[in-house]
Amino acid sequence: MMRTITEIQDEIISEFSLLDGDMEMTVFYIMELGQKLPEMPEADKTEENIVKGCQSKVWLTATSENDNVRFTADSNTAITKGLVSLLIRVFNGQKTDTILNANLYFMQKIGMERFIGTQRSNGFAAMIKQMKLYALAFKTRQAVKS
């Protein structure tokens, strides 16, 4: 059974709560999460897969199977790769509607803005927007087919 976006977010919140707001540990943990991200094929690291609005380079692709969306991503900076890995964890394998209607609250709960700064927060918002755009595109394509 697929876990809900809420369940996944609550899991992330509880993991981060173990770090007790320790900045250094939190940043280290985010970078560690990024290292666990599955390797993105070099062929996908193209200009058109770059998320606009991120100060670091972030490549993001998506595929859809039976209305379940799968994401792959990479970044040229460790912390950004960790941040995108959190989003992939939340959104991967979810239905297009679920992604489009998702209320993301884990960032506030883990106090993310405290340790990533404004630039990265904007980039993070851009990643979310891009993931929702992929979901919308798949949903639209599905509607056209049926």
| Residue matched to tokens 């692709």 | 61
Which of 30, 54, 79, 102 is flagged as catalytic? 54
* Helical (H) or strand (E) element with 12: helix 5-17
Q: Both tokens of residue 5?
A: 């976006």
CA-nearest of 57, 83, 88 to 72 is 88
Q: Both tokens of residue 101?
A: 């209607």
Report the sign of the C-alpha dihedral through residues 3, 130, 140, 44, in that order: negative
Query: Is 54 one of the annotated active-site residues of the chain?
Result: yes
The helix, strand and coil proportions of the chain, stated in percent and rounded to the nearest 5, come to 60, 15, 25
| Residue matched to tokens 């977010």 | 9
Give the residue numbers annotated as catalytic, written as ranges: 54
